[in-house]
Chain A
């Protein structure tokens, strides 16, 4: 079985993407690339990266993309999600940020972004930008285990790969239980429920990415050296 490369937070940086592609090739056995959202940002023109993701070079590992927080802001702003207003517009510089984001992404890419899924379910693993509760859910290793377990339960997966927080971590639920007592008109029932053996993996963001081997369940946290200095990251 081949390894997965999990990437997020490219934010329009085609150089970074090419570096990561090259780095992955140096690792052995990585054949599946998942890009978990935040491919765009308001801080640079994203068209070149989006074009490359949509039409990969022959030498590229084919990317499988889902939408993330920034994509959601853009799609909401363009009306793809009904009458909602994007969260960004509630912030002090929200209008300016949204204007930059619109300028950073050609409308040619909108339909493609709108066609992306919320997440992938592969081999009992959930691959998602935030969580199924919210695309902006910043799950990290310090998040309450009760919340992490809830997010795993919502997707009904054994492993949840998340990118929103930008953190790289592996948190395994190793034990525990709870007692439930239910009383209704028919009587009373009691039962114990054990914590299932499940895992949440933060895959990182930007230059930090993750390799995962489904066969051995091994996780490797990696980074590429960033060639150019990146400017102010702005919101998110």
Chain B
């Protein structure tokens, strides 16, 4: 049966509504959200309330966590002072505007969700801040899925949707233990595993302004990446009316991220 996975809404109500319409039109009843409901965008309360109203199972994203725990991201998150200042401004703006009720909702979100052999996370099973990029070391990518006890791992955080299949894997080792002169040879066959990145509904970074999400069919295993047009200008007007920096509207309307992320995406925040 088909189910939809959405991620990184970033307080963009128009994009979120367009994605929900697209999902509803396909008759899909099950939706899972991978977090980052808020952050940078102009409608944090509206987006959180719509998630709650639709009772969409959601895991906690890095932005959701920062709103609850306070800003303590490590310096590696932003590659420039400008990006950091904008990020912090957006954080404080969002924290000021979110109702206590909506904050309480974000606080109780789990870091992972599991359904059979499907695992849903924001960044990776290790951390809400770890990026699982499509070109990361294939064995390390497999390790993330396998160690978490899943067959398919759904993630977000990068805002660039992809489907990655890791198959035909094996590792051969030679082990020498203390006291044994002879080394023993072993081979481990690796199972086929998949990582599916749902992209971003509210702040796409894949070179287009369209919102993205994925549809997965439990039975056939098929995954499709969906792109949805929405009224970007409406969100841009909302950004300006909300008193957020006008340049946020420019960046969103051109398909750029609000603030650049660090280049070394393989870095895992040590906090």
Q: Please give the residue numbers on chain A whose beta carbons come within 8 Å of chain B beta carbons, in ascending order.
A: 82, 133, 141, 144-150, 153-154, 167-185, 193, 195, 204, 208, 219, 221
Using known A-B contacts A146-B190, A178-B142, determine if residue A173 contacts B171 with beta carbons closer than 8 Å. Answer: yes
Question: Would you mind naming 9 contact pairs between A and B with Cβ atoms under 8 Å apart?
Answer: A144-B146, A146-B190, A170-B183, A174-B173, A177-B169, A179-B168, A180-B138, A182-B162, A184-B160
Which residues of chain B (147-175) have a CB below 8 Å from chain A? 147, 160-175
How distant is B123 from chain A, measured CB to nearest CB, in Å? 15
Pick from B126, B147, B175: contact of A147, CB below 8 A. Answer: B147
Those 8 A-B pairs whose CB atoms lie nearest each other, nearest first: A178-B169, A168-B178, A176-B171, A150-B143, A175-B172, A221-B178, A184-B162, A145-B171
- Whole-angstrom distance between the alpha carbons of A182 and B194 in the complex? 10
Expressed in whole angstroms, the minimum distance between the Cβ of A136 and any Cβ of chain B is 15
The answer, yes or no, to whether B139 is at the interface (CB within 8 Å) is yes
Question: How far, in angstroms, from A150 to B206 measured CA to CA in the complex?
Answer: 28
Given contacts A168-B178, A185-B227, contact A180 B173 (CB under 8 A): no
| CB of B188 within 8 Å of the partner chain | yes
Minimum CB–CB distance from B198 to chain A (whole Å) comes to 12
Chain B residues, Cβ within 8 Å of A147: 143, 147
Interface residues of B (CB under 8 A from A): 126, 134-135, 137-143, 146-147, 160-179, 183, 185-188, 190, 206-208, 212, 225, 227, 268, 271
Q: Which residue of B lies closest to A189 (CB)?
A: B134
Smallest CB separation, B175 vs chain A (Å) = 5
Chain A residues near B164: list those with CB within 8 A: 180-183
Residues of B within 8 A of A174 (CB): 172-174, 185
Q: Is the CB of B177 within 8 A of A141?
A: yes
- Whether A178 pairs with B187 at a CB distance below 8 angstroms is no
Chain A minimum-CB-distance residue to B141: A180
Taking a contact as CB atoms closer than 8 A, the residue among A146, A168, A171, A221 that contacts B139 in the complex is A146
Shortest distance from the beta carbon of B30 to any chain A beta carbon, whole Å: 22
A145 to B139, CA, bound (A): 10
List the A residue with the shortest CB-CB distance to B223.
Answer: A183
Q: Is the interface of A mostly helix, strand, loop or mixed?
A: strand
Question: By the criterion CB–CB under 8 Å, are A153 and B175 in contact?
Answer: no
Since A177-B169, A177-B170 are in contact, a sample of 10 more A-B pairs with Cβ atoms closer than 8 Å, ordered by chain A residue number, is: A169-B177, A171-B175, A174-B174, A175-B172, A178-B138, A178-B142, A181-B167, A182-B165, A185-B225, A208-B178
Of all chain B residues, which has the CB nearest A188? B163
The interface residues of chain B lying within 8 Å CB-to-CB of A169 are 175-178
A149–B143 contact, CB under 8 A? yes
| Nearest Cβ on chain A to B163's Cβ, whole angstroms | 5
**In the complex, how many angstroms separate the beta carbon of B151 from the nearest chain A beta carbon?**
15
- The CA of A169 and the CA of B180, in the complex, are separated in Å by 10
Please report the C-alpha to C-alpha distance between residue A183 and residue B221 in the assembled complex, in whole angstroms: 14
Q: Which residues of B contact A182 (CB under 8 A)?
A: 134-135, 162-165
User: What is the CA–CA distance of A179 and B139 in the complex, to the nearest angstrom?
Assistant: 10
Chain B residue with Cβ nearest A150: B143
Task: Kindly state the separation between the CA atoms of A30 and B109 in the bound complex, as whole angstroms.
Answer: 54
Q: Are A146 and B162 in contact (CB under 8 A)?
A: no
Interface centre among B126, B177, B190, B271 (most CB of A within 10 A): B177
Contact between A149 and B168, CB atoms less than 8 A apart: no
Cβ distance A55 to chain B, nearest Cβ, rounded Å: 30
Chain A residues within 8 Å of B126, by CB: 133
Nearest-neighbor residue (CB-CB) of B194 within chain A: A181
* Cα A115 to Cα B183 with chains together (Å): 39
- Tell me the smallest distance from the CB of A132 to a CB of chain B, in Å: 9
Beyond A153-B137, A178-B138, A195-B171, whether A170 also contacts B176 by CB under 8 A is yes
Q: Given the complex, which residues of B lie within 8 Å of A171, measured CB to CB?
A: 173-176
Given contacts A171-B175, A174-B172, contact A150 B140 (CB under 8 A): yes
